[in-house]
Amino acid sequence: MDQKIAVVTGSSSGIGLATSLSLARHGFYTYATMRNLDKSKNIMDMAKKDELPLQVIQLDVNADKSVRDAVDRIIAEKKRIDVLVNSAGYGLIGCVEDLSMEELKAQLETNLFGIIRVTQAVLPTMRNQKRGIIVNVCSVAGRIGFPAMPGYIITNFALRGLSESMRYELDQFGIKVVIIELGVVRTNFSNSSVMAKKALDPNSSYAQLTQKVSAGIRLLVEHGIPPEEVAKVIVKAVTSDDPEPRYLVGNDAAMLIEARTNMPDAEFEKFMKKEFLGI
């Protein structure tokens, strides 16, 4: 009865998969959720091999009914939810002029509204318990703009503000909110990212810039930290009696935030152009 219950979104791969396994290894009964259960074999095989307290269930963060059904099932089975890790999301590549409103809305639907949708479904249970912790997996891009990724950047800036606002609202109920601000992580981010349709047009005024950024992302991801390192930080946060409001993960993230904090705006822009655009 004392076993804590964790729910993780986006568990089919990357950070969500690593976090689900790590939480289960630390004694949490973990619901590893994902939109497409056809992608569940990997995590199910690892959980079975290590005899972990982990169950895979379907949850599409973009669908009200899917979220409601998943949370209702968890409450029916376990009567509580102690930890929610929001890690589902994807990248959208393309400069502002090349982005359609439909592409932007889809990005916001998953990376922002999906988090709000799942959080709203879980909060009544956490309030009744008078305890819980919500972990929002964000990016250092929630504090720094990057070219050719404004859709993704928008959602990260918004998620940071959302998380900070929720901390004030939920503290009275004993619910903690934590932001995980990532540098580059070695996941399938570059492969799962969506390229805006107009950005694929070689005649786009931004084609060269977009191609340079896209290639740079692939290279950075290859040398990023493993998702297991992110999972370690998340486990540290959710097992702490007094977790920090935010955790920077990765030396690159720390370097960028330090530069952004200490440099004047004009100097920082020059730094970013040199580092990421080679100009």
Q: Which positions are annotated as active-site residues?
A: 152
In angstroms, the CA 123 to CA 219 distance is 39
Which is it for strands 132-139 and 5-8: parallel, antiparallel or unpaired?
A: unpaired
Residue 36's contacts (CB-CB under 8 Å, 6 or more residues apart) are 12
Token pair in block for residue 3:
């076993």
What is the DSSP annotation of 11-30? TTSHHHHHHHHHHHHTT-EE
- The SS3 assignment for 86 reads strand
What's the CA gap between 158 and 151, in Å, rounded? 11
Residues 6+ apart with CB under 8 A from 258: none
Which among 40, 75, 41 has a CA at the least distance from the CA of 58? 40
Write the burial class of residue 51 (CB in 10 Å: 0-12 exposed, 13-18 middle, 19+ buried): exposed
CA dist., res. 261 & res. 217, Å (int)? 23
